[in-house]
Amino acid sequence: MKNKLFAFSPVVTATDPAHWVDKYADHLYAFALNRLDDEELCRDLVQETFLAALERLNEFRGQSSERTWLTAILRFKVIDIYRKRNSSWLTCHPMQSEPEYFDPANGHWKDDWAPRSMEIDPVDPTLRKELAAILQKCLDRLPALWYSIFSMKHMDDMATEVICEEMKVSSANFWVIIHRAKVNLRACLQKEGQ
């Protein structure tokens, strides 16, 4: 008699396209809307994701959940939108010098640029919702390329090398963009959060 404790059989998840809309549409829509902030475009991308998944159904191996697989397809569609939006941004907006934000003697913020307290209680759900709305407003003010790169790095946790390759930017430009996006977000948050 075989010991069932050591029995192993690979789990293969069967796909169920008939239930994708009910199970995953809201998640995929929220994922896209969080990155693009264009409701109509996000609805279209979710539909395109379902169609692409149906076309590639035979490629699904069950090594991830359906939700993860569909989200990955959508992520590439979002990256394609980022690429289209940003294809000419760098040529039209060359990197220029910026004021020094830090004191070279000690590495700390200069007084004019130092962060100020927003005095938001992180436990209060109403204030957290308000902060999220302010953050989205500030993200929307970033140039499209900065928004794209910032969200890929800090929302999708993508590797720098992958972002540089996908967005066709050098490593140096990537870090300048990330720095400028953070500085702009901080300034906007402080202004809007008062």
Alpha helices per DSSP H over the chain: 20-36, 39-55, 66-86, 89-92, 125-141, 144-154, 160-167, 171-192
Domain 17-85 - what CATH class? mainly alpha
Q: Along the 194 residues of the chain, how does pLDDT read in single tens digits?
A: 444 444 443 444 467 888 999 999 999 999 898 888 789 999 999 999 999 999 988 888 888 888 989 998 998 898 888 877 766 554 454 444 445 666 667 666 677 766 666 566 667 777 778 888 888 888 888 888 888 899 889 888 889 999 998 888 898 888 888 888 888 888 888 877 66
- The class (CATH top level) of 90-192 is mainly alpha
* Residues forming a β-bridge with 102: 109
- What are 115-147's pLDDT values in tens digits? 666 566 667 777 778 888 888 888 888 888 888
pTM: 0.55
* Rg, the chain, Cα only: 21
Domains 17-85 and 90-192 share a fold: no
3-state secondary structure of 103: coil
Domain spans in the chain, listed from the N-terminal domain onward: 17-85, 90-192
Report residue 73 as tokens.
Answer: 């397809």
